[in-house]
């Protein structure tokens, strides 16, 4: 056939003939089917068919005339010209030879799949889905189309959609000639995801550009709800390096709202919105094994194309099979200059108005303009912050004029997110009530630089730091990072570093879990007792809300902590990540849900029941067991053996041995699979008995805050004595040097690092540490580069002095 090509007969070489979308489908069917990638069959109506329609109708010159003098910033003018051209194409007669080929091809599909087979009719432009331009949602797609007449009608609608308002505007911005692009149409067997689920997979992190993860989104029903941002989908991250080694490294799972699903209409054609039950919303749409399968497919597809990919998938609710229904190059981070690192830093604090999910790593600000629906877009002014419920492709002409974007709904693979990334636009999605909260606000600052989207009132001061990564020296002293917030890990991991010297569990427990671990350990007993206790009944409701969709509440804690730790470990892999076991004080543990039942009231929690003393105590030991299981899962199931553990506030060597024995009871054995156990050096006894502690532990990490507090005998939380607190005090410095010397003299030699605040705040203290021969300095992310440069200079001076002394 002249105008129709089966997917099995086309590939990437046919881009000019069948457009990006169809060429990719054919390529995957032909090249990746034998590697397990399922792609629904179908056929392409070629770009030659589009040209044939235009030439036979004699409308080419009229299209040119309609585009003369076009101004895409004039919304009314753009809409008028677009409508005029679409009507020209839509009302053009379909040539009889083309019509017969389309009908014949559809009849062939009926032979394979049954009478009135349900198909998707999708546009596939010749310039779209390239590495530099996604053309996301620019042309039309029609789902659940049945019958020859309807396929013909929808094909003509797709041809006309080459000139949607948004497509015209997009081509102008990207420098494409309107008359040099043509449109092909794909007719593909529908996957019955209306009875199951669908979503998008990226073989790269969409926000940070971190290339070692696969990002998967999933929601019930057909995929348009995810693409259009109608629902908040479930989200998953899978770590590629250990996935390829056979491990199961799902390093993050976030439950989406998924309150609606797009399904087939009751009469059998077209689609409509359906409701998702509360029980359905509280479950993940995919099993872990299905997530891992999609991640493996993403790796295969990425390896085949040789660049990061944006992939749409669907699960068939009849057969239970997974399918890939589209694959295109990722268009933002694949084009980024990896030798240069640009970071945005908010320098001023302001009133926090709202939070949501961050898109991009930038900061933007401007006057607020709340646009409720597309009919109001002509009142949007350049440089304003666009605030709306959600965007669709018709909004693209004003998105390119915005300084930032805020939406109520959407996930990180929706239209608003994709276009914002291409435009370099800071965007906060899924705020829930942005249009309501910001309606009376004049100006805002949008901060997406920390992995979470924050919206502040007013224009706040910020700066942009840019560094050529290849020009940053690497000193002999290892420069590491202090962290504990998984959401920012993929960004921080790209800063030149030697790993994580301190990964705190506290933020993960407080933010991701929020429940006292003993309340989860004793959940069944509490639930039984709650039948006669209204206060306990409220507690159970709180626990159930936080821990959906887990029936096993202990597993909720283990999985949540494991994924938080694993996301950090993945970001810095294969560099070591030293994870400190929980170091909440009793008053902090008491603030967790249910904590009041398990925590005593202490006069001075700072030096009370904290750190090591909890881990082997029967009142807390089962909770410590959950922490051990989480670390074991990260190392054994996810393959992230770069994780080491650290014991805080260990008062005596014997206490250290008790902790080591408690770890072994829960299957976490020092030395097994290379597991090292460090101790925080933050109590004077850790220094005085450094050799004895070195017999128990594999290394030391100096906590300068507590060491200063306990050396000078002051409460660092007290304003009355705050003026005395100084890590540079001579007594503190002597202890620091003493423990470094003792650890290095021990046989075998023990490593010593520092993870306290002092070297972040005081460059001269970092210099002192280098002169003492410390092995590593772990710092807050914002001072890692400056300290790295400073330490390299200190080492250079030390070498120079040593040469002069020898000479």
Q: Write out 579-638 in H/E/C secondary structure.
A: EECCCCCHHHHHCCECHHHCCCCCCCHHHCCCCHHHHCCCCCHHHHHHHHHHHHHHHHHC
Spatial separation of the C-alpha atoms in residues 501 and 257, rounded to whole Å: 36
Which of the 8 DSSP states describes residue 3? S
DSSP bridge partners of 145: 119
Tokens of 344: 């945005």
Instruction: Report the C-alpha gap between 550 and 548 in whole angstroms.
Output: 5
**Distance separating alpha carbons of residues 742 and 17, to the nearest angstrom:** 72
Look at residue 248 and give its three-state secondary structure. coil
Q: Look at residues 554, 568, 558 and name the one whose alpha carbon lies nearest to residue 629.
A: 558
- Does the annotation count 755 as an active-site position? yes
Q: Which two tokens stand for residue 431?
A: 């705020």
CA distance readout (Å), 441 to 78, 469, 580: 30, 39, 42
Q: 401, 407 in Cβ contact below 8 A?
A: no
Contact indicator for 578, 646 with CB cutoff of 8 Å:
yes
CA-based nearest residue to 759, from 720, 796, 795, 786: 786
Looking from the CA of 94 toward its CB, the CA atoms found within 13 Å total 22
**CA angle (433, 434, 440) in 5-degree steps:** 110
Note whether 593 and 515 are within 8 A (CB): yes
* 415 flagged as catalytic: yes
Distances (CA, A) of 390 to 119, 229, 419, 557: 28, 6, 12, 34
Would you say 104 and 6 are in contact if contact means Cβ atoms under 8 Å apart?
no
How many C-beta neighbours within 10 Å does residue 629 have?
20
Quote the radius of gyration of the chain (alpha carbons, Å).
30
Quick one: tokens of 710?
A: 């306990």
User: Residue 586's closest CA among 484, 674, 516, 483?
Assistant: 516
Token output for 679: 């101790």
Q: Copy the structure tokens of residue 515.
A: 């429940």
* Residue whose token pair is 């945005």: 344
Give me the catalytic one of 158, 197, 414, 415: 415
Q: Tell me the two tokens of residue 341.
A: 């690192």
Which position among 94, 628, 650, 755 bears the catalytic label? 755
- The pair phi, psi for residue 515, each rounded to 5°, is -120, 140
CB 229 within 8 A of CB 409: yes
Residue 346, Cβ density class (10 Å: 0-12 exposed, 13-18 middle, ≥19 buried): middle
Give the neighbor-by-neighbor strand order of the sheet with 234-239: 250-254, 234-239, 213-220, 197-202, 309-315, 322-329
Could you tell me the end-to-end alpha-carbon distance of the chain, in angstroms, rounded to an integer? 86
Give the DSSP letter of residue 458. Answer: S
C-alpha distance from residue 715 to each of 460, 520, 686 (Å) = 34, 33, 19
**Which tokens go with 700?**
């030391």
Torsion sign (Cα): 534, 517, 559, 585 = positive
Q: Is residue 684 left, alpha or beta, with left meaning phi > 0 and alpha meaning psi from -120 to 50?
A: alpha
Task: Tell me which residues are annotated as active site.
Answer: 415, 755
């Amino acid at each position: 056939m002249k105008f129709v090509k089966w997917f099995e007969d086309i590939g990437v070489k046919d881009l000019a003939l069948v457009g990006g979308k169809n060429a990719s489908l054919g390529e995957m069917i032909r090249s990746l089917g034998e590697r397990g990638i399922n792609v629904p069959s179908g056929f392409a109506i070629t770009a030659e068919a589009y040209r044939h329609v235009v030439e036979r109708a004699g409308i080419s010159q009229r299209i040119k005339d309609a585009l003369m003098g076009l101004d895409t910033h004039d919304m009314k003018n753009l809409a008028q010209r677009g409508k005029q051209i679409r009507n020209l194409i839509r009302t053009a007669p379909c040539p009889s030879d083309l019509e017969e080929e389309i009908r014949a091809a559809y009849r062939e599909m009926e032979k394979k799949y049954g009478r009135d087979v349900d198909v998707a009719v999708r546009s596939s432009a010749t310039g779209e889905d390239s590495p530099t331009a996604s053309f996301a949602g620019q042309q039309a797609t029609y789902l659940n189309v049945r019958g020859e007449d309807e396929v013909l009608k929808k094909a003509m609608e797709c041809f006309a959609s080459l000139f949607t308002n948004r497509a015209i505007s997009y081509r102008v911005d990207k420098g494409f000639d309107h008359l040099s692009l043509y449109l092909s149409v794909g007719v593909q067997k529908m996957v019955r995801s209306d009875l199951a689920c669908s979503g998008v997979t990226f073989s790269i992190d969409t926000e940070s550009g971190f290339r070692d993860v696969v990002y998967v989104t999933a929601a019930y029903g057909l995929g348009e709800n995810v693409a259009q941002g109608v629902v908040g989908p479930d989200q998953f991250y899978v770590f590629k390096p250990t996935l390829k080694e056979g491990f199961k490294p799902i390093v993050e799972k976030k439950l989406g709202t998924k309150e609606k699903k797009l399904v087939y209409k009751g009469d059998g054609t077209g689609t409509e919105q359906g409701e998702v039950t509360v029980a359905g919303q509280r479950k993940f749409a995919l099993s872990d094994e299905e997530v891992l399968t999609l991640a493996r497919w993403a790796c295969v597809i990425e390896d085949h194309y040789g660049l990061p990919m944006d992939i749409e998938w669907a699960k068939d609710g009849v057969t239970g099979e997974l399918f890939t229904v589209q694959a295109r190059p990722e268009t933002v981070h694949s084009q980024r200059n990896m030798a240069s690192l640009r970071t945005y830093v908010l320098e001023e604090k302001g009133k926090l108005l709202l939070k949501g999910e961050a898109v991009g790593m930038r900061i933007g600000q401007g006057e607020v303009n709340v646009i409720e629906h597309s009919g109001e877009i002509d009142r949007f002014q350049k440089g304003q912050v666009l605030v709306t419920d959600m965007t669709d492709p018709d909004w693209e002409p004003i998105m390119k004029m915005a300084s930032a974007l805020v939406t109520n709904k959407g996930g990180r693979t929706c239209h608003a997110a994709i276009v914002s990334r291409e435009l370099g636009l800071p965007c906060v999605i899924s705020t829930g009530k942005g249009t309501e909260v910001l309606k009376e606000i004049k100006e805002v600052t949008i901060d997406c630089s920390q992995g979470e989207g924050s919206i502040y009132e007013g224009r706040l001061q910020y700066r942009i730091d840019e560094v050529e990564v290849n020009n940053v020296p690497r000193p002999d002293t290892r420069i590491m990072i202090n962290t504990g917030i998984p959401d920012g890990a993929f960004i921080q991991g790209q800063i030149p570093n030697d790993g994580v010297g301190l990964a705190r569990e506290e933020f993960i427990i407080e933010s991701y879990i929020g429940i006292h671990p003993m309340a989860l350990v004793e959940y069944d007993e509490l639930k039984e007792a709650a039948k006669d206790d209204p206060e306990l009944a409220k507690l159970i409701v709180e626990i159930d809300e936080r821990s959906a969709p887990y029936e096993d509440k202990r597993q909720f804690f283990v999985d949540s902590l494991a994924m938080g730790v694993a996301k950090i470990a993945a970001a810095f892999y294969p560099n070591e990540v030293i994870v400190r076991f929980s170091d909440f004080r009793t008053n902090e543990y008491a603030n967790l849900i249910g904590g009041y039942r398990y925590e005593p009231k202490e006069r001075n929690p700072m030096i009370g029941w904290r750190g090591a003393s909890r881990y082997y105590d029967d009142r807390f030991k089962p909770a410590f067991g959950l922490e051990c299981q989480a670390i074991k899962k990260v190392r054994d199931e996810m393959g992230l053996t770069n994780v080491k553990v650290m014991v805080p506030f260990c008062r005596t060597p014997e206490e250290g041995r008790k902790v080591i024995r408690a770890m072994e009871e829960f299957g976490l054995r020092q030395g097994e699979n290379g597991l090292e156990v460090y101790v925080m050096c933050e109590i004077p006894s850790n220094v005085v008995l450094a050799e004895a502690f070195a017999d128990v532990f594999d290394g030391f990490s100096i906590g300068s805050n507590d060491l200063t507090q306990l050396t000078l005998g002051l409460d660092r939380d007290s304003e009355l004595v705050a003026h005395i607190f100084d890590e540079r005090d001579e007594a503190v410095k002597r202890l620091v040097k003493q423990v470094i010397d003792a650890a290095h003299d021990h046989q075998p030699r023990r490593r010593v690092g520092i993870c306290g605040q002092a070297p972040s705040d005081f460059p001269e203290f970092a210099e002192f540490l280098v002169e003492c021969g410390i092995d590593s300095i772990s710092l807050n992310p914002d001072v890692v580069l400056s300290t790295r440069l400073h330490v390299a200079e200190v080492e250079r001076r030390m070498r120079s002095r040593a040469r002069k002394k020898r000479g």
